[in-house]
């Protein structure tokens, strides 16, 4: 454990302990667990090296201007022993429901997603799978935590400086094994929910400026949301498209500390990467389903809204039972979509991404059996649901890299969903009905699918590589621990419990022998 200096004025009385990435790397190399970072269940040095070499070859083709290649070339770094990593940060609920920040690292490479693994036909030698399955304790590495307190901003900046220095030290100096081979880690991106990106990236433009005047813009990638540049425009020739990553206009209030890490030349904003899970499953997906379920309820028998929803709910629950799908919610009501009256825009009121996935499947199943000729909104909704469901299915059944053609197809389907959404929003607006609300997160979906649709390289990283559901699971676990230990030394105690849990899971996975 490393101890961070405590800046003056920070209310937290305990020690600011952290586990450096260098310490994690040292542990993984010394105890023969490096293979975990390459997605292999057992050590196989030659295969690990082949996988990492292939990762970097593809990454260089995809992002030749990434500064990491300057470092690799100048320092003569052996990429076959260089693991690609992501930094994640987010707040869970700690002691007395106060925020509890957890920062952790993970490798891009892991043991796949459940869907990709179940549909896998080939097992290539240089397999590069997403880092999803298995206990998060075995492939997420907690580095620093912080309870929300007075003047915690200073302590947070201290944590970011620690993370940056630690990551640079490991990249340049590495960790040696007993044969003198050097192992290193490169932190390539920072991800998390939008709030964390704003904090870590000192972002001047984000969702929180949506209502502000003058219009500052809502997106650190582009000028969407500024005057005459509507973020609600989902068309491929929207005004914001031409304002992406403008060189003369950086979106930072002050230069973020983390940008001292190698990043994409000319695309510094993209170091703080958006994620599909927040923007679809917990964003646009909820807005879309809110409107579709509202329209579906109108077709149900019943003299009032509650009765109609009760009938829709029965249909949903019996579908889930028959299809053997966990419904994740107890039923459907007007509260599920926050729809007290027709003047309010419906929007999903659930907080589990799984609920969005399940409801999408239900909506497709139900609408495919209905005669929608008299209902242009629902027939467009059906097409929109089908294309998005297909796009997501492809992503979840894929591995870390997407072939150009697959990426373009997924991108086109995502853009088709957005185009239909825009049409439905316009139709509803002109008919003076409050449906298909626009939110900043929908714009983020637009960036993600546009990048896929415009893929020019042979391979592109699956956007699920930056999706944070597994990391949020980890944040939830750490926050639960933080509620059970003494608040006086909560940082140290959470770190100790993390180490204990990691050890137990490494033993369980067969990576380590029990003591």
Q: Rule CB under 5 A: is residue 305 a binding residue for Zn ion? A: no
The interface region with Zn ion, picked from 223-231, 246-254, 335-343, 361-369 by CB under 5 A, is 223-231
330 alpha carbon, distance to own chain's centre: 26
C-beta of 235: minimal distance to Zn ion in Å?
A: 14
C-beta of 63: minimal distance to Zn ion in Å?
A: 19
Cα dihedral 418/349/354/211 (nearest 10):
50
Q: Which is nearer to Zn ion, 275 or 472 (CB)?
A: 275
Burial call 429-440: b when 16+ CB within 10 Å, e when fewer: eeeebbbbbbbb
Interactions with Zn ion, residue window 158-177 (CB under 5 A): none
Q: Which is nearer to Zn ion, 221 or 288 (CB)?
A: 221
Q: Which is nearer to Zn ion, 167 or 269 (CB)?
A: 269
By CB atoms closer than 10 A (0-12, 13-18, 19+), residue 192 is buried
Length, in residues, of the chain: 515
Q: Which is nearer to Zn ion, 242 or 255 (CB)?
A: 242
Q: Among 153, 116, 1, which Cα is nearest to 400's?
A: 116
Residue nearest to Zn ion (CB): 219
Q: Which is nearer to Zn ion, 224 or 392 (CB)?
A: 224
- For 346-384, what is the HEC assignment? CCCCCCCHHHHHHHHHHHHHHHHCCCCCCCHHHHHHHHH
Token pair for residue 71? 């470092």
Phi/psi-derived region of residue 100, left when phi > 0, alpha when psi is between -120 and 50, beta in every other case: beta
What does residue 281 show for φ and ψ, rounded to 5 degrees? Answer: -60, -35
C-beta of 67: minimal distance to Zn ion in Å?
A: 23
* 8-state DSSP, 242: G
Do 279 and 439 meet the contact criterion of CB atoms below 8 Å apart? no
> Any idea what the Cα angle at residue 325 is, between residues 324 and 331, rounded to 5°?
115
C-beta of 275: minimal distance to Zn ion in Å?
A: 14
Size of the site for Zn ion (CB under 5 A): 4
Q: Rule CB under 5 A: is residue 229 a binding residue for Zn ion? A: no
Q: Which is nearer to Zn ion, 219 or 332 (CB)?
A: 219
Q: Which is nearer to Zn ion, 110 or 440 (CB)?
A: 440
Cα dihedral 481/487/488/489 (nearest 10):
10
C-beta of 224: minimal distance to Zn ion in Å?
A: 4
Interactions with Zn ion, residue window 203-222 (CB under 5 A): 219, 221-222
Q: Which is nearer to Zn ion, 82 or 224 (CB)?
A: 224
Contact letters (x/-) for Zn ion, 46-85, by CB under 5 A? ----------------------------------------
192 alpha carbon, distance to own chain's centre: 6
C-beta of 418: minimal distance to Zn ion in Å?
A: 13
C-beta of 233: minimal distance to Zn ion in Å?
A: 11
The interface region with Zn ion, picked from 175-183, 224-232, 389-397, 490-498 by CB under 5 A, is 224-232
Instruction: Report the residue from 68, 72, 190, 224 that binds Zn ion according to the rule CB under 5 A.
Output: 224
Q: Which is nearer to Zn ion, 34 or 221 (CB)?
A: 221
C-beta of 421: minimal distance to Zn ion in Å?
A: 16
| H or E element that contains 451 | helix 440-453
Between β-strands 175-176 and 16-18, what pairing exists: parallel, antiparallel or unpaired? Answer: unpaired
Do 84 and 76 meet the contact criterion of CB atoms below 8 Å apart? no
Q: Which is nearer to Zn ion, 279 or 455 (CB)?
A: 279
Q: Rule CB under 5 A: is residue 234 a binding residue for Zn ion? A: no
C-beta of 222: minimal distance to Zn ion in Å?
A: 3
C-beta of 232: minimal distance to Zn ion in Å?
A: 12
Site residues (CB under 5 A) for Zn ion?
Answer: 219, 221-222, 224
């Amino acid at each position: 454990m490393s101890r961070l200096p405590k800046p003056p004025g920070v209310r937290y009385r305990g020690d600011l302990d952290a586990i450096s990435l260098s310490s994690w790397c040292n542990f993984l190399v010394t105890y023969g667990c490096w293979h975990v970072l390459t997605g292999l269940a057992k050590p196989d040095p030659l295969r690990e090296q082949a996988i990492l070499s292939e990762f970097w070859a593809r990454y260089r083709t995809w992002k030749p201007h990434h500064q990491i290649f300057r470092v690799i070339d100048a320092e003569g770094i052996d990429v076959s022993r260089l693991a690609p990593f992501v930094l994640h940060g987010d707040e869970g609920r700690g002691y007395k429901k106060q925020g509890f920040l957890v920062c952790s690292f993970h490798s891009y490479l892991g043991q796949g997603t459940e869907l990709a693994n179940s549909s896998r036909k080939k097992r290539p030698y240089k397999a590069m799978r997403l880092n999803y399955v298995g206990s998060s304790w075995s492939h997420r590495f907690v580095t620093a935590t912080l309870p929300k307190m007075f003047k915690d901003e200073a302590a947070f900046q201290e944590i970011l400086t620690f993370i940056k220095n630690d990551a640079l030290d490991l990249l340049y100096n590495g960790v040696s094994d007993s044969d003198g081979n050097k192992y290193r880690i490169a932190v390539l991106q920072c991800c998390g929910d939008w709030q964390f990106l704003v904090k870590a990236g000192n972002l001047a433009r984000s969702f929180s400026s949506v209502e502000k005047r003058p219009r500052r813009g809502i997106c650190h990638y582009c000028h969407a949301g500024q005057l005459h540049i509507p973020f609600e425009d989902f068309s491929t020739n929207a005004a914001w498209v031409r304002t992406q990553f403008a060189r003369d206009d950086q979106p930072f209030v002050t230069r973020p500390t983390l940008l001292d890490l190698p990043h994409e030349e000319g695309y510094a904003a993209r170091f703080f990467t958006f994620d599909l899970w927040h923007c679809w499953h917990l964003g646009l997906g909820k807005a879309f389903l809110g409107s579709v379920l509202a329209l579906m309820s109108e077709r149900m028998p019943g003299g009032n809204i509650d009765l109609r929803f009760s009938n829709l709910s029965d249909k949903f629950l019996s579908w889930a039972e028959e299809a053997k799908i966990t419904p994740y919610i107890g039923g459907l009501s007007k509260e599920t979509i926050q729809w007290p009256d027709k003047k309010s825009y419906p929007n999903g009121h659930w907080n589990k991404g799984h609920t969005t996935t399940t409801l999408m499947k239900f909506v497709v199943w139900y609408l495919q059996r209905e005669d929608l000729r008299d209902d242009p909104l629902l027939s467009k909704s059906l097409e929109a649901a089908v294309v998005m469901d297909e796009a997501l299915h492809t992503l979840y059944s894929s591995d870390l890299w997407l072939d150009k053609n697959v990426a373009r197809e997924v991108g086109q389907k995502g853009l088709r969903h957005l185009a239909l959404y825009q049409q439905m929003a316009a139709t509803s607006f002109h008919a003076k009905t409050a449906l298909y609300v626009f939110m900043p997160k929908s714009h983020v979906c637009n960036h993600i699918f546009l990048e896929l649709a415009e893929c020019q390289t042979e391979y592109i990283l699956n956007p699920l590589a930056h999706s944070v559901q597994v990391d949020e699971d980890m944040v939830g676990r750490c926050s639960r621990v933080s509620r059970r230990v003494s608040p006086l030394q909560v940082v140290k105690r959470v770190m100790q419990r993390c180490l204990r849990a990691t050890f137990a899971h490494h033993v369980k996975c067969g990576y380590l022998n029990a003591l």
